Amino acid sequence: MSDELHDTDNLPAALTSTPTSRRGFLRTASMTALGAGALVACGKASVAEAASEASTSPAGPPPAPLSPRAAADAMDAMHEKGIKAFPAKTEGKGNQIMAPRIEKGVKVYDLTAKVVQWELEPGRTAEAWTFNGVVPAPQIRVKEGDRLRINLKNELPESTSIHFHGLELPNDQDGVPFITQPPIKPGDSYVYEFTVPNAGSHMYHSHHNSAKQVSMGLLGAIIVEPKDKSGEPKVDVDYVLILNDGAHGFTLNGKSFPATEPIVAKLGQKVRIRYMNEGMMIHPMHLHGMHQTVIAKDGWPQPQPWKCDTLNIAPGERWDVIVNCNNPGTWAFHCHILPHAESEHGMFGMVTALIVQK
Amino acid sequence: MSDELHDTDNLPAALTSTPTSRRGFLRTASMTALGAGALVACGKASVAEAASEASTSPAGPPPAPLSPRAAADAMDAMHEKGIKAFPAKTEGKGNQIMAPRIEKGVKVYDLTAKVVQWELEPGRTAEAWTFNGVVPAPQIRVKEGDRLRINLKNELPESTSIHFHGLELPNDQDGVPFITQPPIKPGDSYVYEFTVPNAGSHMYHSHHNSAKQVSMGLLGAIIVEPKDKSGEPKVDVDYVLILNDGAHGFTLNGKSFPATEPIVAKLGQKVRIRYMNEGMMIHPMHLHGMHQTVIAKDGWPQPQPWKCDTLNIAPGERWDVIVNCNNPGTWAFHCHILPHAESEHGMFGMVTALIVQK
Amino acid sequence: MSDELHDTDNLPAALTSTPTSRRGFLRTASMTALGAGALVACGKASVAEAASEASTSPAGPPPAPLSPRAAADAMDAMHEKGIKAFPAKTEGKGNQIMAPRIEKGVKVYDLTAKVVQWELEPGRTAEAWTFNGVVPAPQIRVKEGDRLRINLKNELPESTSIHFHGLELPNDQDGVPFITQPPIKPGDSYVYEFTVPNAGSHMYHSHHNSAKQVSMGLLGAIIVEPKDKSGEPKVDVDYVLILNDGAHGFTLNGKSFPATEPIVAKLGQKVRIRYMNEGMMIHPMHLHGMHQTVIAKDGWPQPQPWKCDTLNIAPGERWDVIVNCNNPGTWAFHCHILPHAESEHGMFGMVTALIVQK
């Protein structure tokens, strides 16, 4: 892993030198895993074969099988390349805090739902349905009692809506077409406006044709700070981590390893991680080296904090944890459903790191 | 959504006017989802195509593609029809409290295991294996310390048995063929009799060839009220909600949306929901508009109540929650694994509503 | 079920008398279940057909269909055979406590990673990747503050490493190739050495090509007893139960029912079960007859114990529970995802029993 977080200048060269590319394989592996057959597929795909193919010209005779050691070296080289590439640069970054306009005391956010091409990891780009062109959508951070207005312009080819998942809003702001509002047609605009109710880690996402629209990227975080902060833990890093497993494969904040973002803290600091699952599967997130202290579920404080190292996060859930960064080093941090995180060709998908700097 | 809960008189006409029927699609979608490929399938199924097909005669020339707005309108119309049909009338209603006969102080329940045709939603009927012809089976409500007798007549083509899941019974009443009793052969009868032990939200279901028999419908709730009710919350509505995902697709109390039953309460009332998962998958149940306070797991009180809006319920688990109905309106209430709840053709499967009336 | 736990002498004869063998079917069923299609497959596979085929010569005319009662008898006979065979003898037993060598105060464990043939249930053997030839690996039991050394010899055809899942080690002992150490090449050896940090129920497993290597068997338990035992429950049986669902199908401690091991206790005794999930799926473990009191998550005490009868265990998680054995008898104990535990041909996979002897 590079000391400098973005020193990935030599990444494309490294990867393009392998005709049977790591990236192509991973795209396939990720899709296969959705059908729960990933492991079997991995078991049959021979790294030795892949490496042999990589070392001969396409038109040449069938290659001789590699020796076990050479096959192991070939596999390890792919693993190493992935890790050395981390964190890999890609176009676009989602989940960044968006500053509102203030209009007569109202915090106003302008969102446009639109289709873009989204780079998931170097060289792997897919169609994404987004708010403001990014996956996850811009992060909204407000306070209990704030007056909030969302101007939504729909530039998608389908109708849409926004549900503020976790906020206890008046019914007409709940965002469910034909139950609380009409669908917002392509080309139309719609305004949500409300006083922010309950504090906590919440989400906003499409609630129309949602199995497709959320999978394609119409999702983001809305974090509500409490009026009374006396019960809030004091932390040095406050990090929102959105898990997904839909049309874009296995992602953390809209990117797949090695393009995921490490969390960086200094020794002795405290990190708050706000997990959110926008996918269709559970993801038990395992942090190496330090435990996680669970403090809230769906924005509500747990009656007493409790500790774990692997926290199971189901679709629609949010969990807030605190990590006491008392163990220096670069720590793997990944979903522990292993086919969501590693294949014979190296780590991919739902992998990142917590870097505790001395 | 109709103000009158059962005003669905015009439903059949509405649906049959769509040659590519919403219902036909959903049946397929539900089955595909069991193979975890639902979303991809949805992504490829073109609503525009379906709508185009619907607007031309089968023998006519290939239709011109719809404009984006017309395609959106066609999709939205399917969504609207589903929601307007809710709660749709169907034949048969399970999970209703069954009154026992009293014989010399013993509460006696007569159950017949038999095969019936079961209407899951309007126009979709499937073979079901049932106790007394309904899915879920009749709800049994008894008290700690009651003497209980179950007379079971087996009219199925297979042997069967009943396991009282959660009750700490004497071993010979546990219902596991070849471990605690012989299987009950087709045509035979069997008697379970015991003093009701631990209180709480429990289940009864077949424990023979159970992956098939439970999936087909041999399941129901047994609720045991505690002798000492001082620790019980006072509620206005006490609702058992059984989740399933087997041979009948994604169901709530044996029905698929729009034939699911809404929970209805008045503003200010308290609702107790007793979740039970009789399926093979987790179902994180998300309530809009209000949080859920978790008070018990598998019939045992949690040490302290805790709050959430999305509660993950695994197969075999029961969770009891309280909802304080302080937010008026019709609130979507659904599994947050989105392909269990919505497709391009609208909501289906594990969707219902909590209606809080002013 | 046999009174004598290992009285299975007549098992092979019993099974080989069934031409359409139970074992062959289960192997298939287990693999199919990984693709989530098990139930559908079961629904279509006709026991009557299987039984009919079994009763005629392969070259004979198509058999007459069995009467319902004869079909039920044929199915029940397969169920009975499985249960009567339990606990079936197989070659090899994993998860047994390994005594260390002591070298100058250091507890030294010698592990060899190697490929073996592993018997999963009578007559079903598969390639396994193991530490010391057994699945799960030898159980390591140490104390907080112990000095521990692991000498690992890699005789696999791939590179490997060991991650001590749950232990808060110095970074260079964390076992992640290219992040904290080089991969250990085929034929090479490697030494891990550290002072044992946090107490609790932990795991050790490969962290290289792990989706394959862990699935194939490179996993085991490391139990760390606390220095201060005042908070530890006093128990009569301390049992580690490792769940897996990978290349070997659905297993408990490396074996499939009926070759799983029952837990045996006397009436009035307390059993501590340390669940560990090394698979890719959740497994909600349901104990009949008695509840489970949950005391720890991932080795960390829960703030307050809580009760359940079905505990959902996600990949990478460990949960410690106490069972008060106050109900005599042989109690089914199984994953409640029913297709992980039973098919038309009887119980298989993730089933065992808790036997409470008077």
Encode pLDDT of C77-93 as tens digits: 999 999 999 999 999 99
Q: What is the pLDDT of residue C59?
A: 53
Q: What is the pLDDT of residue C338?
A: 98
Q: Measure in Å the smallest separation between the Cα of B105 and chain A Cα atoms.
A: 43
Eight-state DSSP code of residue B137? P
Residues shown for chain C: 358
Q: Mean pLDDT over residues C338-356, rounded?
A: 98
Interchain CB contact of A341 with C (< 8 Å)? yes
H-run or E-run covering C193: strand C189-195
Q: In which band, very low, low, confident or very high, does the pLDDT at B16 lie, cut at 50, 70 and 90? A: very low
CA–CA separation, B3 and B6 (whole Å): 9
Residue of C nearest to B216 (CA): C43
Q: Mean pLDDT over residues C164-181, rounded?
A: 98
Whether A15 and A124 have beta carbons less than 8 Å apart is answered as: no
Q: In which band, very low, low, confident or very high, does the pLDDT at B67 lie, cut at 50, 70 and 90? A: confident
Interchain CB contact of B246 with C (< 8 Å)? yes
User: B24-50 pLDDT, tens per residue?
Assistant: 333 333 333 333 333 223 333 333 444
Q: What is the pLDDT of residue C161?
A: 98
Contact A282 B282 (CB under 8 A): yes
Global ipTM: 0.86
Extract the tokens encoding B1. Answer: 């959504």
Per-position pLDDT tens, chain A of length 358 = 444 343 333 322 222 233 334 443 333 333 333 333 332 233 333 334 444 444 444 455 666 778 889 999 999 999 999 999 999 999 999 999 999 999 999 999 999 999 999 999 999 999 999 999 999 999 999 999 999 999 999 999 999 999 999 999 999 999 999 999 999 999 999 999 999 999 999 999 999 999 999 999 999 999 999 999 999 999 999 999 999 999 999 999 999 999 999 999 999 999 999 999 999 999 999 999 999 999 999 999 999 999 999 999 999 999 999 999 999 999 999 999 999 999 999 999 999 999 999 9
Contact A284 C315 (CB under 8 A): yes
The chains in contact with chain A, meaning 3 or more Cβ pairs closer than 8 Å, are B, C
Interchain CB contact of C42 with B (< 8 Å)? yes
Interchain CB contact of B188 with C (< 8 Å)? no
CB pairs under 8 A between A and B: 148
Q: What is the pLDDT of residue B66?
A: 81
Interchain CB contact of A284 with C (< 8 Å)? yes
Cis link prior to B87 (omega < 30° from 0)? Answer: yes
Q: What is the pLDDT of residue B77?
A: 98
Closest by CA position to C274, among listed C10, C95, C86, C13: C95
Q: How many CB atoms lie within 10 A of CB C291?
A: 23
Q: Mean pLDDT over residues B265-275, rounded?
A: 98
Say what angle helices C68-85 and C47-54 make with each other, to 10 degrees. Answer: 80
User: C221-248 pLDDT, tens per residue?
Assistant: 999 999 999 999 999 999 999 999 999 9
Interchain CB contact of A286 with C (< 8 Å)? yes
CA–CA separation, C164 and C166 (whole Å): 6
CA–CA separation, A297 and C337 (whole Å): 25
Which residues face A237 on adjacent strands? A271
Q: Measure in Å the smallest separation between the Cα of C181 and chain B Cα atoms.
A: 37
Is the pLDDT confidence value at B277 over 80?
yes
Contact B291 A176 (CB under 8 A): no
Contact A316 B304 (CB under 8 A): no
Chain center to CA of A152: 23
CA–CA separation, C194 and A327 (whole Å): 14
CA geometry: angle C123, C126, C129, nearest 5 deg:
145
Contact A171 B72 (CB under 8 A): no
User: B95-116 pLDDT, tens per residue?
Assistant: 999 999 999 999 999 999 999 9
Farthest CA pair distance, chain A: 74
Q: What is the pLDDT of residue B9?
A: 33
Interchain CB contact of C61 with A (< 8 Å)? no
Contact C280 A338 (CB under 8 A): yes
Amino acid letter at A139? Q
User: B152-172 pLDDT, tens per residue?
Assistant: 999 999 999 999 999 999 999
Cite the DSSP H helix spans in chain A: 11-16, 22-34, 38-44, 47-54, 68-85, 210-213
Chain A residues closer than 8 Å to B338 by CB: 210-211, 214-215, 280, 315
The chains in contact with chain B, meaning 3 or more Cβ pairs closer than 8 Å, are A, C
pTM of the model: 0.88
Q: Measure in Å the smallest separation between the Cα of C2 and chain B Cα atoms.
A: 10
Q: Which of A27, A129, A158, A207 to mutate to test the interface with B (most CBs of B within 10 A)?
A: A158
Of C183, C304, C314, the CB nearest to A282: C314
Q: Measure in Å the smallest separation between the Cα of C48 and chain B Cα atoms.
A: 10
Q: Measure in Å the smallest separation between the Cα of B339 and chain A Cα atoms.
A: 5
- Which of A308-322, B45-59, B108-122, C297-311 has the lowest average pLDDT? B45-59
Q: Mean pLDDT over residues B267-296, rounded?
A: 98
Eight-state DSSP code of residue B289? S
Q: Which of A176, A294, A313 to mutate to test the interface with B (most CBs of B within 10 A)?
A: A176
Interchain CB contact of B46 with A (< 8 Å)? no
Chain C residues closer than 8 Å to A304 by CB: 303-304
Burial B192-221 (b: 16+ CB within 10 A, else e): bebebebbbbbbbbbbbbbbbbbbbbbbbb
Whether A19 and A57 have beta carbons less than 8 Å apart is answered as: no
Of B186, B212, B314, the CB nearest to C42: B212
Q: What is the pLDDT of residue C62?
A: 65
Say what angle helices A68-85 and A22-34 make with each other, to 10 degrees. Answer: 90
Closest by CA position to A229, among listed A272, A199, A203, A201: A199
Is the pLDDT confidence value at C351 over 80?
yes
Contact C297 A306 (CB under 8 A): yes
Interchain CB contact of C246 with A (< 8 Å)? yes
Q: Using CB atoms and an 8 Å cut-off, which of residues 65-94 of chain A contact chain C? A: 68-69, 71-73, 75-76, 79-80, 83-84
User: A111-168 pLDDT, tens per residue?
Assistant: 999 999 999 999 999 999 999 999 999 999 999 999 999 999 999 999 999 999 999 9
Whether C206 and C160 have beta carbons less than 8 Å apart is answered as: yes
Q: In which band, very low, low, confident or very high, does the pLDDT at C65 lie, cut at 50, 70 and 90? A: confident
Contact B289 A247 (CB under 8 A): no
Contact C332 B186 (CB under 8 A): no
CB pairs under 8 A between A and C: 147
SS3 B187: coil
Q: In which band, very low, low, confident or very high, does the pLDDT at B64 lie, cut at 50, 70 and 90? A: confident
CA geometry: angle B327, B328, B330, nearest 5 deg:
115
Interchain CB contact of A305 with B (< 8 Å)? no
Chain B residues closer than 8 Å to A296 by CB: none
Q: What is the pLDDT of residue A36?
A: 31
